[in-house]
Structure 1
Amino acid sequence: MRHAANDRCPWSIFLVFLRLGLTSFGGPVAHLGYFREEFVSRRRWLSEASYAELIALCQFLPGAASSQVGMAIGLSQAGYRGALAAWVGFTLPSAVLLIVFAQGLSSHGEAMTAGVLHGLKIVAAAVVAQAVWGMMRTLCPDTPRRLLMVIAAGTALLVPGVWGQLAVILLAGAAGCLLLAPMSRSAEDSLSIDISPQAGIRWLAMFVALLLGLPVLAHLLESQTLNLLDAFYRTGSLVFGGGHVMLPLLQAEVVANGWIGNDLFLAGYGATQAVPGPLFTFAAFLGSAMQGWSGGPLCLLAIFAPSFLLLVGVLPFWARLRSRPRVQAAMLGVNAGVVGLLLATLYQPVGTSAIFSFLDLALAAVALGALMLGRLAPWLVVLAGALVGWLVL
């Protein structure tokens, strides 16, 4: 890779992203706002148009969109080492907190009452409901896309599991390509990241090799570690539309297979809302809960690896690819489909595992109102939910 003209020290990039990783609450959309303020307005590492182009690329790709934007910014400043420094800095704080939390539950789970866990699950339901509403307004603004969303939700409920969800994504993309009008293009501005097409092909080949090879190796070697790597890598390869969309995919992998209980799964997801940084660090909690201290970093690397491989693989071809109207239309369909997946998840397993009484429903409504109307930070709502669960439930 040929670096950008103004190379920066990876250590300085790490420190900038570490500060963002310690303070960036609010989810992927908020993260993109923090990045814009830091790197466009304040530091001027990118132009406004370049940043918009970068967001468009990362929204097009599956994976952790805000983390991919961060990786690309580091890539533009210091090559591959810059991308690594940006990812580690932004991810480290929340990953460490969630690994410690998972180990605390494993060692002192009796200290956390059933009420606290139930309160966390209720807040998780409110967070998912907020995500569904916000994504529906943005990604399904017209009748065809709302209809596609509803069909996707119904299909996901009728055909549960990873393969049903993959079918929803593929069919939604095909429907979008055939039925939806493509997006109008904004003014273009080339990104200051120069990766050769040959390097891009190598990265994409590695992505495909891992996606196809990990399940084969896990089956042949009968290795639980390889099963975990395969499950989290595949999840990271299929997530469109933000970190909340990984919830049904991970639930189908780790809960349905009996690797972790649904109560602990939802409690960890609720706790993930209380920490800054990317939602994909939920993988660190799950890995640590399943395999101890070493499991957290293992699952974290597995779920983020596709985000990096796809980013650096597609970058050399992005300008030509995004100019094709049918590709743009297909992505509109995919986006509507993932909102449908999240809507199905809100009912099953999130709602059915958290809402058992009118009091539960009322508390979920209060938490949702605090998030949407009160504009409270998610971590405050999570802490309040845990406290109410401890005192009341």
Structure 2
Amino acid sequence: MQLANQLTIFKAFFILGLTAFGGPVAHIAYFRTQFVEKRQWLSDPEFSQLLAISQALPGPASSQLGFAIGLYRGGMLGAVIAFIAFTLPSALLLVLFALSISSASFPYREAALHGLQLVALPVVADAVWKMTRQLCPDLNTKLIALLSLIFLLTLPSSYSQFFVMLIGGIAGIFLLSSTEHKQTFSFNLSYGKTTSVVMLVVFALLFLAPVLAIDNPLFHVMTIFYQTGATVFGGGHVVLPLLENRIVDTNLITSEQFLSGYGAAQAIPGPLFTLSAYLGALLPGENGGVLGALLSLCALFLPGFLLLLALLPLWQSLQNNSVIQKALAGINAAMVGLLAAALYQPIWQHVVLSFADIMIATTGFILLHIYRLSPVVIVVWCLAGSILKSFL
């Protein structure tokens, strides 16, 4: 029974790893569709609370959310399996790309890549619609979501998301009723507060590892990836320039190599943090290749997972507090505004280049939202529509 459960977790996340195009915001929408609506592994309030925790911590938010869902469903092993399954396809593709298939091309390549980017528009629009109905049931929660949307569009920055959730939580305390927005979060963790403290200590020790001044190039690179993953808010789009500053400026790889990997990471499914596998594979000498890819990948993801594991027991003990309940409802409403803001920037601004793109995305939304077709069908439709448009 336990083995069957873990295999189910692997299959679900592996399919997402193969099909979840569109970046971290789109991944959240895919997760909600798959694990709340279809499989019903958790409820909307539980999903939104895991999402709020993931967004509040540094690291890859969508991968942390997937890790938490795996933990929720299958314990610590389930969390690791979820991470491996979701990350494996994109990591393998980027390592292959690094090992000299970067010159590969095929007919209508640009049109196909653009079609994959268009997928994010109907997927995220569908998630915004459904989450608004679930998480913003009254005027005050709708107001919090709207103000969050306006703030994020007016003052975008890498820390705006964290600030919006903070203000959403404060607004929830003063504007919402805990009885109307009570959300029970039943999370049977396979570990307790002692393990939580251990995770926090391990996180801190690894973060401070550079003080050991170990004279080893691979150790130096791993500390770069770990410290970057431990301090970055805002997901993959924010971590990329930080890695460029620390990897390219130290002459570990060239700017051209980095930009090629950045472009490839945008065009494939899965988390953008898997760019670390590409960068690790390109490290000079014996530090590169498969070993460099694996260590770099783990080093970038690890701090976010350690912090998540450390926080969850504390989160559970606080959730029944009435003030916390109202704050969580406010944070959930702010998350709707955050998702709506991302629908416009970066998704709409970056992928809608013509009226034909609008028609392709609108049709995709109708197929997904009204006819409830699989996101895989939406991927195929956007690909076909974009390639067909290139003929006209």
TM-score normalised according to structure 1 size: 0.69
1:200 to 193, 196, 200: 196
Whole-Å separation in 2 of the counterparts to 1:345 and 1:54:
22
Residue 151 of structure 2: aligned partner: 155
Mapped pair 1:283 → 2:273: yes
Distance 1:249 1:70, change over 3 A: closer
- Aligned 8 A contact 2:236 2:272 in 1: no
**Secondary structure, aligned partner of 1:141:** coil
Mapped pair 1:306 → 2:304: yes
Distance 1:159 1:209, change over 3 A: farther
- Aligned 8 A contact 2:170 2:330 in 1: yes
- Aligned 8 A contact 2:168 2:330 in 1: yes
Distance 1:327 1:255, change over 3 A: same
> For 1:21-36, what aligned pairs fall within 5 Å after superposition?
21-22=13-14, 26-32=30-36
- Aligned 8 A contact 1:201 1:313 in 2: no
Residue 3 of structure 1: aligned partner: none
Residue 391 of structure 1: aligned partner: 388
Residue 95 of structure 1: aligned partner: 87
Whole-Å separation in 2 of the counterparts to 1:52 and 1:135:
8
Which digits, 9 at most, give the CA deviation of each residue in 1:19-72, with x for residues without a partner?
Answer: 4444578524522567657xxxxxxxxxx9xx9997687456325345324224
> For 1:256-267, what aligned pairs fall within 5 Å after superposition?
264=264, 266-267=266-267
Counterpart amino acid of 1:88? Answer: V
Work out the percentage of aligned pairs sharing the same amino acid: 21
Q: RMSD of aligned C-alpha atoms?
A: 4.0
Residue 128 of structure 1: aligned partner: 124
Counterpart amino acid of 1:200? Answer: S
Is there any run of 5+ residues in structure 1 with no aligned partner, and where? 1-7, 38-47, 76-82, 239-247, 273-280
Whole-Å separation in 2 of the counterparts to 1:354 and 1:22:
26
Whole-Å separation in 1 of the counterparts to 2:225 and 2:124:
25
Residue 238 of structure 2: aligned partner: 252
Is there any run of 5+ residues in structure 2 with no aligned partner, and where? 20-29, 55-60, 245-257, 282-289
**Secondary structure, aligned partner of 1:161:** coil
Distance 1:381 1:168, change over 3 A: same
Mapped pair 1:324 → 2:321: yes
Q: 1:193: how far off?
A: 4.4
Q: 1:370: how far off?
A: 1.6
Residue 71 of structure 2: aligned partner: 71
Whole-Å separation in 1 of the counterparts to 2:317 and 2:228:
32
Mapped pair 1:343 → 2:326: no
- Aligned 8 A contact 1:162 1:253 in 2: no
Counterpart amino acid of 2:67? Answer: S
Distance 1:54 1:120, change over 3 A: closer
Which digits, 9 at most, give the CA deviation of each residue in 1:216-245, with x for residues without a partner?
Answer: 99xxx9x6754543444445xx6xxxxxxx
- Aligned 8 A contact 2:145 2:334 in 1: yes
Residue 25 of structure 2: aligned partner: none
Distance 1:135 1:121, change over 3 A: same
